[in-house]
Structure 1
Amino acid sequence: MQLKLKPKINSEMHLTTVTRIVFTSIMLCLFFTGKAQPPKGPIVVSPQVLADKKVTFRYLAPTAREVKLAGGLFGASNVPMTKDSIGIWSVTVGPVRPDVYSYNFVVDGVSVMDPANEDFFPNERFKSSLFEVPGFTPMIHSIRNVPHGSVNYEYYPSVEGTTGTVVVYTPPGYDQDPSKKYPVFYLISGTTDTEETFFKAGRTNFILDNLIAEGKAKPMIVVMPYGNIEARVAHEKGDPTPPDPVRDSPDGLVRMRRFSDDLTKNVIPFLDKTYRTIANRDSRAIGGFSRGGGQTLRTSFWNMDQFAWICAYAANLPTSELDGTYSAITSNAEATNKQLKLLWVSVGNEDFMYNDVATFLNYLTAKKINYKSLVTGGGHNWPNVRTYLTETAQLLFK
């Protein structure tokens, strides 16, 4: 019988050999990984707000033939940019009036965000970039050294088995006293906006932080829902996004009703269950901009038992609808005035909605329905919306 003897292995020698193999493998990986990486390009700083309130924008595009800056709200509509020797295009504009603005670049005819800037304007379609020119004294929407609230993203069961989304602001101190309850402001963005727009572009959290710190606003919960139910349902089912309806059209009104039902039957019960809310109409406000303002007016008029505070930013209701659908509200001013703690309507004098809003206000005046209004300069834009939000937040729940 022949025995097969296994060779004796020197453990010290074996470990040394293995160590060398592993070390060599690591070095080879690092070498080839390094060889595979493209060279790093120049660091681009954009936008750069200068001390004199001028702003420099930069975009790296060595092979581009033409780059323009698009920022109409601060007077920079399709401004040509200049390319340097390493392919960075730049332009300096201003001085720019302190505020928060959106902008983008147009590269060889194609609109693009600023890749050097992480702040963007939430939108269903093209997302522009955002930047702030600070005021000479801190503005109401700027970060200040005050107690800050929290911003949470929440998901709730919605229509047709879909999942809805809301952004929720809770005021400073919310987590410190588990017995305290708060009034709620439901705040709705406009057409093509998302549930993030009042947060990121509207700066709702900073505005409320600052007003509460100054004692000008009551601590409140702010709930920011997504206004386009049809788009969300389509996305979750894998269907194409339906086109936006014509304002005040039959299809538009059907969608308004669907939003209203989702808010009152799904969002509000979810928020009242999840957060410490004061769950009655006297402690519940609703407001919105543009389409969100139309949703605000209709949702509140359809549900007068749910909301006592109404804030419409650049929005109206047609006279025919007021005389028809809401005749019980418009024909009895005394009862309506007792029900509503606030009916606010605001618009810019250059807004395309100005004439319609003016007609709406004249109608309310003729019907002796109490309201507060504010007409600002400017158009249908977020600098105005931040102003309207600041003014109305100081009136709510007082």
Structure 2
Amino acid sequence: MNKRLFLSVFFLCGLILSSNAQEALFGGQNITSPEVHEDGSVTFRLFAPEADVVQVTGDFLPSVKIETQMGPMDGPGKADLTKDDKGVWSFKSEPLPSELYGYSFIIDGFKTTDPNNPFLIRDVASVTNIFIVGNGQADLYRTQDVPHGTVTRRWYDSPGLGMDRRITIYTPPGYETSKDDYPVLYLLHGAGGDEEAWISLGRTAQILDNLIAEKKVKPMIVVMPNGNVIQDAAPGEGNKGYYKPQFMVPKTMDGTYEGAFEDIIKFVESNYQVKANKENRAIAGLSMGGYHSLHISRYYPNTFDYVGLFSAAIMAREDATGKVYSDFDQTLKTQMDNGYKLYWIAIGKTDFLYDANKEYRSKLDSMGMEYNYVESEGGHIWRNWRVYLTQFTPMLFQ
């Protein structure tokens, strides 16, 4: 083979390999999905010529009741896609409110992700695609052209739990070059979550960046710990390697986490430029994280001036007999007597924890303990918790 022929063959092989690589990269489909239209409607597409039935399911559709480990809850609805003569299935939604949405495809009964959308998030053990409809609330969830904070994953020593543990920390724009001290929000996840939940599902960094840029929120450090005390880190990030995440793991609500929470505060106040006093500490969380926030702020009754309970679980279970849960009424009264600037409760009207929150508010009313209350539409969903974060943070450290 002469040199010219060899180079021609080599070049041709290179083109074929490059073409195959690109095809593999894009799943062999030159399809746009999802396509967000100017009116807020969204078109979903999937190439599946051999499929008999294709559906899309997601929180952009009317909710349906589903059975869960915690009883009946609102779940995502389903819609049928229509196949064209090229084997491409499609569905166009109605115009949607501005929001971040998650969705999956169901192909002949098998639930899967959209091969044309590389943007995914994990919630417990489920992975779904996401998209954003802008021009409203969800613009706070976008990465805008504003100064950005920094998100780091650190490891801290927890003597109370006997291990090093991973924690996610957001520092505001300019922190690295500033000599200022900052207030701190400790932001806690729900059951099945971990130190990744608020930063990925909750869009914490985008929300804080955008609200700080709009001067609606004071620059603050946000600390997002892992509330599962048997883990050193999120599944796949710790010493146990890769394993399937669980909704509820042992010891999550038995008082161990609350009792060892000072380890987190000590780490933050020893390693970051913070205002280490009650007036500049806030704690908030969703669901199980709201439960933890309630009991941590009560167990350390002169530590936090700001408390946020987002769709919170309230009372300890019967098998939770640790010291943290003893003298509930008295420690709550002590917290009230010590004073605070904000005790904020928010929940959706169809949340399965609605009645528990109503009973808890009755207890606070009978004690004369002041609180702010927000009641929203919807149930136990991230859509509410992201909104609550945008409502809660502007009220902090004023």
- Paired residue for 1:273? 270
- Could you tell me which runs of 5 or more consecutive residues in structure 2 were left unpaired when the two chains were aligned: 63-75, 319-323
Tell me which residue corresponds to 2:71. Answer: none
The 8 Å contact of residues 330 and 369 in structure 1, kept in 2 or not, is answered as no
**1:195-232, Cα deviation, whole Å (9 max, x unpaired):** 22222222222222232223222110111222223355
- Whole-angstrom CA distance in 2 between matches of 1:224 and 1:89: 40
Q: CA offsets per residue over residues 66-86 of structure 1, 9 Å max, x none?
A: 211001444372111122344
Quote the residue 1:387 is aligned against. Answer: 387
TM-superposition CA deviations, 1:288-312 (whole Å, max 9, x none): 0111111111222222243222111
C-alpha spacing 1:205/1:237, structure 2 compared with 1 (3 Å): closer
Q: Which moved more, 1:155-164 or 1:277-286?
A: 155-164
Secondary structure at the aligned position of 2:141 is classed as coil
1:64 aligns with 2:51: yes
Q: For residues 284 and 264 of structure 1, what CA distance do their matches in structure 2 show?
A: 13
Question: Is residue 2:330 matched to residue 1:328?
Answer: yes
1:282 to 279, 287, 307: 279
Instruction: Give the C-alpha shift of residue 358 in structure 1.
Output: 0.7
* Equivalent pair of 1:169/1:223 in contact (CA under 8 Å): yes
Q: 2:118 is matched with which residue?
A: 118
Cα distance change, pair 239–197 in 1 and its aligned pair in 2 (3 A): closer
Aligned to 1:263: 261
Query: Any residues of structure 2 matched to 1:176-215 within 5 Å, and which?
Result: 176-177=177-178, 179-215=179-215
Matched, 1:253 2:253: yes
Report what 2:312 is aligned to. 315
Contact 1:122-1:193 within 8 A present in 2 as well: no
8 Å CA contact 1:99–1:135 kept in 2: the answer is no
1:237, CA displacement in angstroms?
3.8
Q: Is the 8 A contact 1:74 1:101 kept in 2?
A: no
The letter for the 2-side match of 1:207 is I
Name the structure 1 match of 2:68. none
Please tell me whether the aligned partners of residues 67 and 89 of structure 1 are also in contact (alpha carbons under 8 angstroms). yes
Q: Is the 8 A contact 2:298 2:332 kept in 1?
A: no
What pairs with 1:1-398 in structure 2 (closer than 5 Å)?
27=10, 30=13, 34=17, 37=20, 40=23, 41-75=28-62, 77-135=77-135, 139-158=139-158, 162-177=163-178, 179-232=179-232, 236-237=239-240, 244-245=247-248, 253-254=253-254, 257-265=255-263, 267-318=264-315, 324-332=326-334, 336-398=336-398
Letter paired with 1:236: N
- One-letter identity of the residue aligned with 1:45: T
Q: Which structure has greater helix proportion?
A: 1
Alpha-carbon contact 1:284-1:307 (below 8 Å) kept: yes
How well do the aligned residues superpose, as a CA RMSD in angstroms? 3.4
**Could you list the runs of 4 or more consecutive aligned residues of structure 1 that deviate by over 4 angstroms after TM superposition?**
23-26, 35-39, 158-163, 231-235, 238-246, 319-324
Aligned counterparts of 1:32 and 1:198: Cα–Cα separation in 2:
43
Shift of 1:49: 0.5
Change (3 A) 1:121 1:138: closer
Classify the secondary structure of the residue corresponding to 2:130. strand
How far did residue 268 of structure 1 move?
A: 2.6
Shift in Å at residue 283 of structure 1?
1.4
Change (3 A) 1:35 1:53: closer
SS state of the match for residue 205, structure 1? helix
One-letter identity of the residue aligned with 2:176: D
For the pair shown, the structure with the greater C-alpha radius of gyration is 1
1:386 Cα shift? Answer: 1.8
Asked if the contact 1:330/1:367 (under 8 Å) is kept, the reply is no
Q: Note the alpha carbon deviations across 1:344-376, whole angstroms, 9 max, x for none.
A: 111011111111111111110101112111111
Specify the SS of the correspondent of 1:229. Answer: coil
Instruction: Report which of the two has the higher share of strand.
Output: 2
Contact conserved, 1:74 with 1:96, CA < 8 A, in 2? Answer: no
Partners of 1:221 and 1:237 in 2: CA distance:
29
C-alpha distance 99-306 of structure 1, shift in aligned 2 (>3 A)? same
Contact 1:121/1:127 (<8 A) preserved? yes
Distance change (3 Å), C-alpha of 1:54 and 1:397: same
Structure 1 distance, partners of 2:143, 2:259, is 36
Instruction: Check whether the contact 1:227–1:259 (CA below 8 A) recurs between aligned residues.
Output: yes
Whole-Å Cα distance in 1 between the matches of residues 18 and 201 of structure 2?
42
Where 2:177 maps in the other structure, the secondary structure is coil
Question: Per the alignment, do residues 104 and 273 of structure 1 end up closer, same or farther by CA in structure 2, a change over 3 Å counting?
Answer: same
> How far is the alpha carbon of 1:57 from its aligned partner?
1.0
SS of the residue aligned with 1:269? helix
Deviates more, 1:218-227 or 1:69-78: 69-78
User: Partners in 2 of 1:20 and 1:319 — Cα distance?
Assistant: 79
Distance 1:232 1:295, change over 3 A: same
Aligned equivalents of 2:147 and 2:296: distance in 1?
Answer: 33
In the alignment, the residues of structure 2 paired with residue 174 and residue 259 of structure 1 have an alpha-carbon distance, to the nearest angstrom, of: 29
| Residue range with higher mean Cα deviation, 74-83 or 309-318 | 74-83
